[in-house]
Amino acid sequence: MAIYSVTVIYLQLFIIMVSSQGQIKDFTRTEFIEIITNKNAEFKVPPNYDIEEPTVVECEILVDSFDSISEANMDFTVTVFLHLSWPDTRFTRIYPKIDNDLYIEIDSKNLDKLWIPDLYFPNEKKAYYHDVFMPNKMLRIYRGGNVTYSTRLTLTLTCNMNLRNYPFDRQSCAIEMESFSYNEHNIILMWANRTEFRSAVELVGENKESLPQFEVKDIILDEFFRRHSGSGNHSCVAAKFVLERNLGYYIVQMYIPSILVVMLSWISFWLNANSVPGRISLGVLTVLTMTTQSSSVNASLPRVSYTKAIDIWMSTCLIFVFFALIEFAMVNFLTRMEMNKGVKIKNVFQIPADPEKSMPTKEALVKDKDEKEGEESRPRSPRKKITSGVLLGMHVDVASRILFPTLFIIFNIVYWSYFYAQMESQGIPARGE
């Protein structure tokens, strides 16, 4: 241990002496790493810290995967490769003179002995580094004095979503970074200058621009300053992912089943009004099915105070099946009202009479026979059309067979036209929305 300490001190004194004489010693890679990782006082602060000039840190993010996007928790999880680059001329005077040696790698074991921008994610809920088999961190020091830091991490970040047009919505979820300790006088963050063929933020995973429920329509890069009380303005960068929801899943899992349930409720209009158990069972079943489906849809969504597009759809479908049940109740009421009226009239004519007075005489029988023969010989007049409760109930059923499908088709045309136009015209939310 003593020999090691003496060696380190010797190397440090030698570097100082060489630097003061303006000469550059040809160190090996091992000596170079040992010097910069043990001379803590100089290499643990920003490069321009003593002269009070900001160090420009260029940022680059490669998104490996969108792991999840949760509407209920208002967040999203991504796995990214983060690359930071900044100039540090302190390394140039001791850089090894090795042919074709463009850079020297510093692994994760020695990273805590060198200065690295103290960035954090303001909208982070939780995050972790990947450490299989070793921590996925690396530093490269280039011959010209440029330093590049790379790491792989998984982030869960907040994303304030506006679900008024759900599932016809377009969301903007951002990855924000800023320095925790240093303000604008020490560190300036900016996105790396890339060519037209490559951006500072890209999707590089297998899913690329196609996610299970979303499609990445655009990536917007932003650079700004955020003021903190007591420490001044801090430089920030943000990458906003404009996500448009894919409708395929929702059409198959929500819209088509609810349409079929509404159409199933119309079968009641073709059943006989006297089929009370069948029509009641069908009506109650469709109402309960729509209620259950609406509850399952909202179970995966936050309890927001405004009405969503899916709420309008589910509520309207529930109204259709509910009124189909009400229609049967009205038809059944009309039918039973007419039947009860007929029973009362029949009971009036069945009142028992005096047996002696009710016995027909011989003359009465002959007269009755002559009247019947006369009626048979006369031509019968056409039967008058009588509007009864039963007939009125049948008319209501026939009208419902046309009215309910027509209204539902009109609702579909208005609903799909309006919200599809809303989805196409949705602007990109500004930062912080």
Q: What is the mean predicted confidence (pLDDT) over 265-293?
A: 88
Report DSSP letters for 16-68, one per residue: HHHHHTT------HHHHHHHHHH-HHHHTS-TTTTTT-PEEEEEEEEEEEEEE
Closest C-alpha among 58, 56, 78 to residue 68: 78
pLDDT value at residue 59:
94
DSSP code of residue 247: S
Model confidence pLDDT, tens digit, residues 210-230:
677 888 888 999 999 998 887
Peptide bond into 81 cis (omega under 30): no
Q: Is the pLDDT of residue 390 over 70?
A: yes
Contact residues for 145 (Cβ-Cβ < 8 A; gap 6+)? 87, 88, 89, 90, 91, 92, 95
Q: What is the mean predicted confidence (pLDDT) over 350-373?
A: 50
pLDDT value at residue 190:
92
Q: Is the pLDDT of residue 258 over 90?
A: yes
Q: What is the mean predicted confidence (pLDDT) over 125-151?
A: 87
Residue with the larger pLDDT of the pair 159 and 210: 159
Residue with the larger pLDDT of the pair 346 and 82: 82
Topology of 28-245 in CATH? Acetylcholine Binding Protein; Chain: A, (2.70.170)
58, 193 Cβ separation under 8 angstroms: yes
Q: Is the pLDDT of residue 404 over 60?
A: yes
pLDDT value at residue 314:
95
pLDDT value at residue 256:
95
pLDDT value at residue 332:
83
Q: What is the mean predicted confidence (pLDDT) over 299-325?
A: 92
Q: Is the pLDDT of residue 343 over 60?
A: no
**What's the pTM value of the predicted model, to 2 decimals?**
0.72
Q: Is the pLDDT of residue 7 over 50?
A: no
pLDDT value at residue 181:
87
Q: Is the pLDDT of residue 432 over 60?
A: no
157, 76 Cβ separation under 8 angstroms: yes
**Which uninterrupted H or E stretch holds 2?**
helix 2-20
pLDDT band at 382 (very low <50, low <70, confident <90, very high): very low
Q: Is the pLDDT of residue 20 over 70?
A: no
From the options 1.10.3720.10, 3.20.20.80, 3.10.20.30, 1.20.58.390, give the CATH code of 250-349+387-425.
Answer: 1.20.58.390
pLDDT band at 394 (very low <50, low <70, confident <90, very high): confident
Q: Is the pLDDT of residue 341 over 80?
A: no
pLDDT band at 191 (very low <50, low <70, confident <90, very high): very high
pLDDT value at residue 98:
54
pLDDT band at 139 (very low <50, low <70, confident <90, very high): confident
Model confidence pLDDT, tens digit, residues 21-39:
444 455 565 666 666 666 5
The mean-pLDDT minimum among 180-184, 341-345, 399-403 falls in 341-345
pLDDT band at 42 (very low <50, low <70, confident <90, very high): low
Question: What token pair was written down for 329?
Answer: 């109740």
pLDDT value at residue 411:
97
Closest C-alpha among 270, 258, 358 to residue 315: 258
Helices (H) and strands (E) in the chain, counts: 10, 12
pLDDT value at residue 36:
64
pLDDT value at residue 272:
81
Residue with the larger pLDDT of the pair 207 and 146: 146
Q: Is the pLDDT of residue 14 over 90?
A: no
User: How do the domains of the chain map onto residue ranges?
Assistant: 28-245, 250-349+387-425
**Within a 13 Å sphere around the CA of 427, how many CA atoms are in the beta-carbon half?**
4
- Write down the mean pLDDT value for the chain: 78
Q: Is the pLDDT of residue 16 over 60?
A: no
135-165 as b/e: b if 16+ CB within 10 A: eebbbbbbeebbbbbbbbbbbbbbbebbbeb
Q: Which of 5-9, 154-158, 180-184, 331-335 has the highest mean pLDDT?
A: 154-158
Model confidence pLDDT, tens digit, residues 233-251:
999 999 999 999 988 889 9
Residue with the larger pLDDT of the pair 277 and 366: 277
- SS3 of 126, please? strand
Q: Is the pLDDT of residue 85 over 70?
A: yes
Angle at 168 between CA 167 and CA 172, to 5 degrees: 95
- SS3 of 384, please? coil
